[in-house]
Every structure is written in C-alpha cells, then in structure tokens.
Structure 1
Amino acid sequence: MDIQGIDHIELFVGDARQAAFYFDRAVGFELRGQGGPETGLAGQRSLLLGQGEIRMLLTTGLTGGHPAARYVRRHGDGVAVIALAVDDAAAAYAELVRRGAAPVTPPSTFTGADTEVVTAEVAGVGDVRHRLVSRRGDPAQFLPGAVAVTPPRGDGGRLLVDIDHLAICVPPGRLAGTVGHYRDVFGFAEVFAERVEVAGQAMNSTVVRSPSGRVTLVLLEPDRSHRPGQLDAFLQQHAGAGVQHLALRTDDIVTAVAALAARGVRFAGTPASYYDALQARVGPVDAPLERLRDLGVLVDRDHAGQLLQIFTESVHVRRTLFLELIERRGARSFGSGNIRALYEAKERELAAAGEGRTVAAPTSQEVRA
C-alpha cells in the first residue's frame, strides 16, 4: 500500500456557503466544484475549493441525521476527513482493515468521460475519517457525477502551495496508542518526538509521516499533571480528539501574510519584545526584521535550517480549528522553540513596563503549540 499524499481534506460545517465565502474572500481559495441532492449527494451540500495543490471540500448536512450534521452538533465546524491518495483504493481499504483499521465506508466508484475515481473510508482519530482515493484519467474531475466542476477564475492562486501538516490533539494518555495505530496500521514512521514544559503547562508531541513523506501528522497530548492549557481547552470545546490546526505551506510568508491580512484574516498577536532576541536565538534571518515584527511572523530553526510561521485566530464559534502559514527554509521541525521564546518575550515586556510580577504563559491567541 502506497500512500502518495493528501488528496483533499473535508470540513463538516454548519453553513458551507458561509464558510466558502470566508475561505474565498479572506484566504484566497477559489470555487472549483459543487454538489448536492441534484448531483446525487443525498442530504448534503458540498463546495469544493482550491488553491495551489490544496483541495478543500466544505460539506453541510441538510438533514439532522446526516453525518456532517451530527459531527457539527458534537464538535462544531472542523476537519472531518483527511483523504489519502493511493494507487488502488479498494486494495488499500482491504489491507488497512486487515491490519486493524475500523471500516467506515466500503469502496465506491465514480465514473465520467475517461475518468474513474474510487473511494473508501476507514476510521482515524476520534471522529476523523481517512478517505482513500485512487484516480484514473482527468485529475480535474474531483468526483465525476457527484461534484460538478466549476471553471476556475484564474490560475488557482499561489499564495498557499500545499498542506504541510495537520496537528491533531488527543486526550491525555492516548498519544502512545495513536502513534502505534498509525505505525502498525498505516505504515507511518515516527520522525520526531518532544516534551514541552513552560509556565506550569506541559505537552507531549510526536510527529508521524507516511513513507512517501507527503503526509505528516503532528499528534499532541496535554499533561494534566500540570496546569491546564490550550490543548485542554481544545479537547473540552471540541468534545474530544480532533484536528486542532491545519498548516498550509507558502513559498513567501511575508507576501502571503500581508495579502491575507489585507483581506481581513486576523492573526495571533506576537509581543514586540519577541524580536529583540530573535537573531541571537536563530541567527541572521533573510527577511527585514521590522517587516517580520510588523506582521507578527515567528522564526525558529533546527539543524537543517529555518522556518517562518504564523497562526490565525480561529473564526469558529468554539474557538477550536485555526490555520498555520509556514515557510520552510530547510527546517524539518515545527517551531516548538517559539513556545518558550514567546513566553520569555512576554515576561521581558511586562518587566520593562514595570509590572514586576510572575505572568502566566501566553494565551492560545499568543502562542500556538
């Protein structure tokens, strides 16, 4: 079984048209297709958006019993499906079930002119599913006969290029079992693990990656022997495990952040003093420091290079799912050095203001694990 990459992601949302309006007008996606009862998608309305190599399906249940409606009632808007591109979806489904994956939807075939798409689904983490997708023929035909293709307005946009990773939060005590599931069932490898402690909070994280290197999941677990933090808040507000954030890669984060901010995207704030120690911590940065400060872009480094990143504020009523923009300049890690750096910057800022007191860790709007 060869997992080649992420074919698409599907968000279950309360209002697909409203969600599409935000991703179109603010984040730069464009409508590439749509489907509903008139195309054979019973009980749902789905809108397909795209930008660069990213495909995002937004689905709203039109009846109370539809899986999307049940998901939204329990979790709010969120990533419900991570679709994996494979060479043979039916064979991959059979192999995953044999290895212990819980079956959800058996293989289905969608056909069009010189095009065939086969899909099947197995369970992932919590209520997140993995849809296996194999394609033959025209790649623009997303689901022939079910999602009608919409002619693109332009070149699809290039501010955001592809999906770098997805961060999934699991309850305390579930991290090791989840890592083992992706290793033993999906064939992913554990490529990075760490524990972060700061300001009385603690979290464990493990990164698993497909053999192709094209699917990366960052698995996060809070340590409840320490003070509750943003991961605990996510688990409570989301009612269990799920995708905490979606990281979208860009080749030019300064241009992308400036453009998205001009369109109304709100980004998490960064203390100004964070940048006072930036070059001492990560070395010279190939971007104007003042421009990074103005935009709030964070910088971290590892043995392979630097990465630049920033997080959006959540637009969802439960304050759960948010986006990350990331530009990799050789770095292979995920910016964990920014957690402590942001906390220390906040302390310096308060000390300079003469507060002279111990402060709590940055809020979830100031630092994203």
Structure 2
Amino acid sequence: MTTYTDKGPKPDVGRFLCFDYLTFWVGNAKQAASYYSSRMGFEPYAYKGLETGSRDVCYHAVKQNKIIFVFASALNPGNAEMGQHLVTHGDGVKDIAFSVEDLDGIMKMAKQRGAKIVKDIWEEKDEFGKVRFAVVQTYGDTTHTFVERGNYKGLFLPGFKKPLFPQDKLLEKLPKPNLQFVDHIVGNQPDLQMENAASWYEKHLMFHRFWSIDDSQVHTKYSALRSIVMTNYEETIKMPINEPATGLRKSQIQEYVDYYGGAGVQHIALNTQDIIASIRVLRERGMEFLRVPDTYYTALREKKS
C-alpha cells in the first residue's frame, strides 16, 4: 500500500463538505425503498411524485442516521434516458451528490478545467428556502450533483414531502443495525481506465490521492486488482477507483464491469461503530451475505502458522 501525504494546493474557491445523498435509478422506486427499509434498517424519509407535482419521475428517499438513499423511477412510458440506463445497467447508482460551499466557485473551476457539465447551476425553492444544484459527468454513466443548501430549513430538498403513508408497523418491531454514514464509494473501471478516472478527480475537482495498491499487493493465484483512493482537500470524501488486473480467472471487478455494462458504482461502504452487532442484526432482518466455506478458515490458520 502506498500512502500519499501531498494534498496539492488548497483550492482557492469552493469546498467539498461530505457525501450528501445517493440516487439510484431503478425499475420500481417504492419497492426498492421498501427493501432497504425492511432489510437494512432504513426508514422512509421523503417523497416526491405525482401527489407533490412531479409528473415524470417519482422519488422515494430513505434515511438511516446520516445516510440518505434516493430511489427514482420513471412514471410514464417512453422515458428514453432512464429506460436506456436500466436496459444497459439494471438498477444501480446513477448519481453521487456532494454537499458543497461556494457552488459558483466550484463550477467556474470545473468549467475552466474542462469538466463535462450535465446541467449548469440552477436553484429550487419552496416555503422553507432554496437549494442550488449543478451536475457534472464522471466515470461511465455516473454523475455528481453538487448541492449548496445554504440556510434551507426543509425536510430534505424542495419539492419533497413527508412520506404519504405512515411507517410500516413491522419496521418498528425490528432491531436496528445502526449504520452511521457513508464511509466511501467505490467506482469500478474497465482494465487500464483507473488512472484516467483518478486523474479526472485531480483535474476537475482538485481531489488528491489518499492511498493506492496494485496487483503486487492485492492478488490471489486467480485474480488481482489495482486501486487508487481519491479524496477532497479536507479528506472527508473518499472515492476509491478500482480496475481489474490479469489473473488465471476473471476478477470480481471485471465481472462487475461485464455485467453492469461499463464503469459504475460497485459498492457503498457504510460505517458502523460495531460491525459484529450490525451484521448480526442485518442477518436477523433477512439480509443475505456471502457464505464463507470452512476451508477458508483452515487455509487462514495454515497461512498464519
């Protein structure tokens, strides 16, 4: 593992604060939100749809401590953008939103450095105040939304209301996994595209390299990987960028790229203060985990002896 100490110059304008929320494009937003609530301990948080004036897309937001996931689905047939995304990728993360300060400064810098602007600065408002946004393109079909909340006092974002229905009584009876916040979000890249993706964060957002590993450090007889962790100047946002390395078999990173149809968000790491207790609760709630064969522990003991 290589640890980097050079953060590079501190940006003259703008500041990235933290992960704000993640948006998943899915076939059935209500059903997806229900799954994350029943299995992973999230709670229905906010809603935007026909009943609130959104005629084309419905959004179901769920929350657990500082983690917010938003599930979005098209309401009408013929939504080419969302439809093609689902055909290519299936359900998955479309957007990673960052809370920022000085959105104007961040966007000015991003434009000067050649970032692809999906949607320039706009604002939305309601009786609780206003929020400003902008969207840029990162790896694959994934985007980043920059969110400047200012003094907004509403539930979540303008246009979102409290869930239409009371919380499922069943959820109140289930144990809590106590997941705290998004620790990091991994983006898998096709072979030899990791450096390009990492350089994108350096060039356009002025992120720096936090640490990295290569296939000489992480490998088995059958597969290997390379990874660079990118982070903002304050190191409050961690974005590992992974790519496969050659092995006797196809690595899980290459499998992801093949099945997802290109680069994308491969996993979201959620912080917990007690991982054993959290996993126990998640199992009780019906969450499925990979089975570890007994031979794994036999091999581990032999390796340590």
- Residues 143, 228 of structure 1: CA spacing in aligned structure 2 closer, same or farther, 3 A cutoff? same
1:189 aligns with 2:205: no
- Residues 164, 87 of structure 1: CA spacing in aligned structure 2 closer, same or farther, 3 A cutoff? same
- Which of the numbers 189, 202, 205 marks the counterpart of 1:170? 189
Aligned 8 A contact 1:166 1:243 in 2? yes
Identity of aligned residues (%): 28
Question: CA–CA distance in 2 between the matches of 1:3 and 1:191?
Answer: 16
Question: CA–CA distance in 2 between the matches of 1:80 and 1:51?
Answer: 20
Aligned residue in 2 for 1:267: 289
Aligned residue in 2 for 1:50: 63
- Residues 37, 106 of structure 1: CA spacing in aligned structure 2 closer, same or farther, 3 A cutoff? farther
Question: CA–CA distance in 1 between the matches of 2:84 and 2:276?
Answer: 39
Normalising by the residue count of structure 1, what TM-score does the alignment of the two structures yield? 0.70
1:83 aligns with 2:97: yes
1:61 aligns with 2:111: no
Aligned residue in 1 for 2:261: 239
Letter in 1 for 2:31: Q
Aligned 8 A contact 1:60 1:69 in 2? no
Letter in 1 for 2:279: V
Which structure 2 residues correspond to residues 1-369 of structure 1 after superposition, within 5 A?
A: 1-62=14-75, 63-144=77-158, 146-150=159-163, 159-195=178-214, 196-224=218-246, 227-272=249-294, 274-275=296-297, 344-345=299-300
Question: CA–CA distance in 2 between the matches of 1:13 and 1:33?
Answer: 17
Residue by residue over 1:102-159, the C-alpha shift from the partner in whole angstroms, topping out at 9 and shown as x without a partner, is 0001222111234211111000111000000001234543221x211349969xx671
- Residues 31, 123 of structure 1: CA spacing in aligned structure 2 closer, same or farther, 3 A cutoff? same
Question: CA–CA distance in 2 between the matches of 1:36 and 1:91?
Answer: 32
- Using CA pairs below 8 Å that are at least 6 residues apart, which structure has the higher relative contact order? 2
Question: CA–CA distance in 1 between the matches of 2:55 and 2:109?
Answer: 29
Question: CA–CA distance in 1 between the matches of 2:27 and 2:105?
Answer: 34
Question: CA–CA distance in 2 between the matches of 1:39 and 1:131?
Answer: 22
Query: How far 1:210 sits from its partner (Å)?
Result: 1.1
What SS is found at the alignment partner of 2:40?
coil
Q: Please give the root-mean-square deviation of Cα atoms over the aligned residues, in Å.
A: 2.3
What SS is found at the alignment partner of 2:140?
coil
Question: CA–CA distance in 2 between the matches of 1:40 and 1:128?
Answer: 26
Question: CA–CA distance in 2 between the matches of 1:41 and 1:101?
Answer: 29
Letter in 1 for 2:194: L
Query: How far 1:214 sits from its partner (Å)?
Result: 1.6
Question: CA–CA distance in 2 between the matches of 1:117 and 1:229?
Answer: 42
Question: CA–CA distance in 2 between the matches of 1:139 and 1:198?
Answer: 51
Aligned 8 A contact 1:115 1:141 in 2? no
Letter in 2 for 1:122: V
Normalising by the residue count of structure 2, what TM-score does the alignment of the two structures yield? 0.84
Aligned 8 A contact 1:43 1:66 in 2? no
Query: How far 1:67 sits from its partner (Å)?
Result: 3.0
Letter in 1 for 2:92: G
Aligned 8 A contact 1:202 1:226 in 2? no
Query: How far 1:212 sits from its partner (Å)?
Result: 2.0
Query: How far 1:347 sits from its partner (Å)?
Result: 9.0
Aligned 8 A contact 1:84 1:133 in 2? yes
The gaps in structure 2 that reach 5 residues or longer are 1-13
Query: How far 1:42 sits from its partner (Å)?
Result: 3.6
The gaps in structure 1 that reach 5 residues or longer are 277-343, 349-369
Query: How far 1:246 sits from its partner (Å)?
Result: 0.8
Query: How far 1:225 sits from its partner (Å)?
Result: 6.5
